[in-house]
Amino acid sequence: MKLELRNITKKFGDFAANEDISLIVNPGEIVALLGENGAGKSTLMNVVYGLLQPTSGEIFVNDVQEDFEGPGDAMTAGIGMVHQHFMLVPPFTVAENVMLGHEHTKGAFLDLDAARSEVRRVSEAYNLQVDPDALVEDLPVGVQQRVEIIKALVRDAGVLILDEPTAVLTPQETDELLGIMRDLKAKGTSIVFISHKLREVQAAADRIVVIRRGRVVGEASPEATKAELAGMMVGREVSLTVEKPPGNPGEPVLQVSDLSAADLEGRPILRDLNFEVRAGEILGVAGVQGNGQTELAEVLTGLYEGEVTGSITMDGKELTGRTPREILDGGLGYVPEDREHDGLISSFTVTENLVLDQFGNAPYSSGGVLKSAVIDKRADELIEEFDVRTQGAAAPVSSLSGGNKQKVVMAREMSRELRVLVASQPTRGVDVGSIEFLHKRIVSERERGAAVLIISSELDEIYALSDRIAVMYRGAIIGVVGPDTSRDEMGLLMAGVTND
Partner 1 sequence: MSVAEAPAPEALPEVHIVPPTPRLVKVLIGLGIFAVVVFGFFTPSGEDVTFQLALGEEALALPDLTLPAKISAIAFSAIALLAAVGGLFAARKERALWPYSTVFGIFFVLGFLSWAVAGSTINLVGLLQGSLLLAVPLVFGAMSGILCERAGVINIAIEGQLLTGAFMAAVVASLTQNAYLGLIAAPLGGLFIGLLLAVFAIKYWVDQVILGVVLNVLAVGLTSFFYGRLLAPNQETWNSPPTFSPIAIPVLSDIPIVGPILFNQNIVVYLMYIIVIVINVALFRTKWGLRVRAVGEHPQAADTVGIKVNSVRFRNVLLGGLVAGLGGAFFTVASVGAFGKEMTAGKGFIALAAVIFGRWKPMGALAAALFFGFADNLQSVLSIIGTPIPSEFMLMTPYLATLLAVAGLVGKVRAPAADGIPYKKS
Ligand X SMILES: Nc1ncnc2c1ncn2[C@@H]1O[C@H](COP(=O)(O)OP(=O)(O)OP(=O)(O)O)[C@@H](O)[C@H]1O
Which region, judged by CB under 6 A, interacts with ligand X, from 38-46, 120-128, 145-153, 334-342? 38-46
Q: Does 130 bind partner 1 (CB under 8 A)?
A: no
Q: Is the bond preceding 363 in cis, omega lying within 30 degrees of 0?
A: yes
Minimum Å distance from CB 158 to partner 1? 16
- For ligand X, the binding residue among 390, 415, 427, 457 (CB under 6 A) is 390
Q: Does 268 bind partner 1 (CB under 8 A)?
A: yes
- For partner 1, the binding residue among 222, 474, 480, 481 (CB under 8 A) is 474
- If contact means CB under 5 to 8 A according to the sort of partner, which of Mg ion, partner 1, ligand X, none does residue 40 touch? ligand X
* Per rule CB under 6 A, count of chain residues that contact ligand X: 21
Minimum Å distance from CB 346 to ligand X? 11
Closer Cβ to Mg ion, 18 or 358, answer by number: 18
Q: What is the DSSP letter of 251?
A: S
Contacts of 129-133 spanning 24+ positions with Cβ under 8 A: 130/94, 131/94, 132/93, 132/94, 132/95, 132/98, 133/93, 133/94, 133/95
Rg, Å, the chain Cα set? 23
- If contact means CB under 5 to 8 A according to the sort of partner, which of ligand X, partner 1, Mg ion, none does residue 452 touch? none
- For ligand X, the binding residue among 284, 336, 402, 449 (CB under 6 A) is 402
Q: Does 51 bind partner 1 (CB under 8 A)?
A: yes
The whole-angstrom separation of Cα 49 and Cα 306 is: 41
- For ligand X, the binding residue among 30, 43, 66, 285 (CB under 6 A) is 43
Give the distance from CA 262 to its chain's centroid. 26
Minimum Å distance from CB 390 to ligand X? 6
3-state secondary structure 178-215: HHHHHHHHHCCCEEEEECCCHHHHHHHCCEEEEEECCE
Task: List the interface residues with ligand X, window 61-100 (CB under 6 A).
Answer: 84
- If contact means CB under 5 to 8 A according to the sort of partner, which of ligand X, Mg ion, partner 1, none does residue 341 touch? none
Closer Cβ to ligand X, 62 or 391, answer by number: 391
- For partner 1, the binding residue among 169, 230, 288, 420 (CB under 8 A) is 288
Q: Residue 480 is which amino acid?
A: V
Spatial CB neighbours of 197, under 8 Å, sequence gap ≥ 6: 166, 174
Sign of CA dihedral 195, 197, 201, 203: negative
The whole-angstrom separation of Cα 220 and Cα 222 is: 7
Closer Cβ to partner 1, 101 or 360, answer by number: 101
Q: Does 402 bind Mg ion (CB under 5 A)?
A: yes
- For Mg ion, the binding residue among 18, 33, 36, 42 (CB under 5 A) is 42
Q: What share of the chain is helix, strand, coil (3-state, %, to 5)?
A: 35, 30, 40
Angle at 270 between CA 413 and CA 330, to 5 degrees: 30
List C-alpha distances in Å: 430 to 73, 249, 386, 435, 496. Answer: 31, 29, 12, 6, 30
Residue numbers at the binding site for ligand X (CB under 6 A) = 12, 17, 35, 37-43, 84, 389-391, 399-404, 429
Residue numbers at the binding site for partner 1 (CB under 8 A) = 12, 49, 51-53, 70-73, 75-76, 81, 83, 86-92, 96-97, 99-103, 105, 108-110, 151, 170-172, 175, 264-268, 288, 290-291, 459, 473-474, 487-488, 491-492, 494-496
